Amino acid sequence: MELKRVVVTGLGALTPIGNTVPEFWDNLIKGVSGAAPITKFDASKFKTRFACEVKGFNAEDFMERKEARKVDPFVHYAIAVTDEAIADASLAFDKLNTNRIGVIWGSGIGGLKTFLDEVSNFAKGDGTPRFNPFFIPKMILDIAPGHISMRHGLRGPNFSTVSACASSTHALIDSLNYIRTGFADVIITGGSEAIINEAGIGGFNAMHALSTRNDDPQTASRPFDKDRDGFVAGEGGGAIVLESLEHAQARGAKIYAELVGGGMSADAYHITASHPEGLGARLAMTNALTDARLKNEDIDYINVHGTSTPVGDPSEITAILELFGQHAYALNISSTKSMTGHLLGAAGAVESIASILAVQNDIVPPTINHFTDDPNLDPKLNFTFNKAQKRGVYAAMSNTFGFGGHNATVIFKKFEA
C-alpha cells in the first residue's frame, strides 16, 4: 500500500502561558513561566501550593452556560482548542465529506474534578445516593471527542487514547495512520487535561512527584538543573488538524509542516519510573525515525519529555546520546515544560505544537530556569538553556513518556511539495 502524506493545517492551544496559539508561542519564545500559587482551591495544607493554571479562561465564551455545566473542565478545554484549530485550518464542514473527518483525542485522567465533586458530595450526605445524572458522561475520557464530533457533525473515526502523559502523542500517531492508510481525510487530534484540584495535587504529592519549591514557583520547573525536585502540574489543551496532502491541496489549505512518523514502545520496567538506561525512550525514537524514513542527522531539534524529575531527565538524555551518537551534539534539546508545567495527557499535543512552530519559524524555544549544571549530564549538549535560539529546523522530534512505561515519539518536518 502506498501511504498518503499527512500535513498539519490547523492549530489550537490553551495553556498556562497563553490562551491562543499566537499568545502561547510568543510567551514560549520569551521564556515566560506559567507557574503561580494555586487559585482553584485552598492549597494551604498541601505540600505543593502552586501550579501552572490556565488564566482568564471562561467556558461560556465557547458554549451556553447550561451546556457548560454538563461537561468537565477537560472538555471545556478540548472544545476551546478545537474551535481555534478548526478556524485556523479554515475547515468549512458544509463543503466537506464529514463521514471522512474524525476526532481522536487524548487525556490521561479525564474528568477528575467531576469525580472528586460527586464522590465528595456523596460522602458528606446521609448515604442516600444523589448523583448528578451527568456524572458518568462528564467524567469519561472519550466524551471529549464525542462532544467535538457532535458540535461539528463529524462522523469519521472517533475515540480517545489513554497512556498517561503519552496520551495525546498516541492520539497523533493513530490519526497519522488513519489518514495515511486512507480511512480518513481529516482528523482533529490533540488532548486536554484538568487536574489542578485537591485530588490531582494531593495524589501527585503523595507520590513525591511534584516540586515543593513553594517559595519560588516561577523557577520550580527546572529540567536538567542540578537542583530539580519534581515536576510542576499544568492544565489546558492542544489541538492539531491533520489531513492528507491531497485533501489539503485540493481545498487550498495553508500547511504548517508535515507529520512524517511516529514511534511507540514500552519500558516494561516500573509503574512510574522511567527505565534508567532509557531503553524504552530510545526504542520509541528509533521507531519514529524508521517510520519517518529519516536519518539521525535529519533531526535538528528534540522537544524532550524533560519533566524536571531527578530520575526521568537523565534517562532520556542517556537514550538520546546512545541513539544519536555524535549527532547529539549538533541537536538543540529543550523542555517547554519549564514554562508550561506538565500537562500530563495534553503534553504531547501542546509540545507538538511547539515543535511544529519551531520547524515553521526556525526558532527553538528555551529550557528556562537553569541555574546549576548537573554534573551527571553531558555539558557539551545544547539544552537551549534560558534563551530561545534561532537555527534552521528541518525536522523536529517530540517525546512523551507516561506512567506505566508508555513511550511515544512523533516527528514533524518542513513541508516540501
Taking only the tens place, the pLDDT of each residue in 103-113 is 999 999 999 99
Left if phi > 0, otherwise alpha if psi is -120 to 50, otherwise beta: which for 121?
alpha
**Low-confidence stretches of the chain (pLDDT beneath 50):** none
Does one domain contain both 246 and 287? Answer: no
Pairwise CA distance, residues 399 & 284, whole Å: 8
Taking only the tens place, the pLDDT of each residue in 34-77 is 999 999 999 999 999 999 999 999 999 999 999 999 999 999 99
Does one domain contain both 226 and 99? Answer: yes
Instruction: Tell the residue number behind the cell numbers 549530564, with chain if given.
Output: 377
**Per the structure, how many domains does the chain have?**
2
Does one domain contain both 21 and 117? Answer: yes
**pLDDT in the model for residue 346:** 98
Pairwise CA distance, residues 356 & 351, whole Å: 9
pTM above 0.85, yes or no: yes
Query: Is 255 a member of any domain?
Result: no
Query: Which stretches of 41-186 are DSSP H helices?
Result: 65-68, 73-88, 112-124, 135-139, 143-152, 167-180
User: Which percentage of the chain shows pLDDT scores above 70?
Assistant: 100
Taking only the tens place, the pLDDT of each residue in 78-90 is 999 999 999 999 9
Pairwise CA distance, residues 49 & 41, whole Å: 10
Query: Is 353 a member of any domain?
Result: yes
Domain range spanning residue 337?
A: 265-413
Pairwise CA distance, residues 300 & 296, whole Å: 9
Query: Is 348 a member of any domain?
Result: yes
CA gyration radius, the chain: 20
Does one domain contain both 16 and 138? Answer: yes
The last residue of a domain, from among 216, 250, 284: 250
Instruction: Tell the residue number behind the cell numbers 542517556, with chain if given.
Output: 318
Nearest to 350 by CA among 101, 112, 11: 11
Grouping H, G, I as helix, E, B as strand and the rest as coil, residue 264 is: strand
Does one domain contain both 167 and 246? Answer: yes
Pairwise CA distance, residues 151 & 234, whole Å: 26
DSSP 75: H
Does one domain contain both 246 and 310? Answer: no
Query: Is 325 a member of any domain?
Result: yes
**pLDDT in the model for residue 1:** 78
Pairwise CA distance, residues 389 & 204, whole Å: 33
Query: Is 256 a member of any domain?
Result: no
Q: Is there a catalytic annotation at residue 165?
A: yes
Element (H, E) at 213: none
Does one domain contain both 136 and 43? Answer: yes
Pairwise CA distance, residues 361 & 194, whole Å: 30
Q: Kindly give the interhelix angle for 73-88 and 112-124, rounded to the nearest 10 degrees.
A: 160
For residue 130, with 0-12 CB atoms within 10 Å meaning exposed, 13-18 middle and 19 or more buried, which class applies?
exposed
Does one domain contain both 142 and 179? Answer: yes
The last residue of a domain, from among 226, 250, 274: 250
Does one domain contain both 230 and 325? Answer: no
Beta-ladder partners of 382: 332
Pairwise CA distance, residues 213 & 155, whole Å: 47
For residue 361, with 0-12 CB atoms within 10 Å meaning exposed, 13-18 middle and 19 or more buried, which class applies?
middle
Element (H, E) at 314: helix 312-324
What CATH number is associated with residue 384?
Answer: 3.40.47.10
Which is the catalytic residue, given 13, 54, 162, 165?
165
Beta strands at 257-266 and 6-14: parallel, antiparallel or unpaired: antiparallel
Query: Is 16 a member of any domain?
Result: yes
Beta strands at 395-402 and 406-413: parallel, antiparallel or unpaired: antiparallel
Pairwise CA distance, residues 203 & 197, whole Å: 10
Query: Is 246 a member of any domain?
Result: yes
**pLDDT in the model for residue 203:** 98
**pLDDT in the model for residue 331:** 98
Element (H, E) at 318: helix 312-324
Instruction: Tell the residue number behind the cell numbers 534560558, with chain if given.
Output: 386
The last residue of a domain, from among 221, 250, 279: 250
Does one domain contain both 201 and 314? Answer: no
Positive or negative: CA dihedral 52, 56, 58, 61: negative
Does one domain contain both 214 and 271? Answer: no
Query: Is 345 a member of any domain?
Result: yes
Does one domain contain both 192 and 277? Answer: no
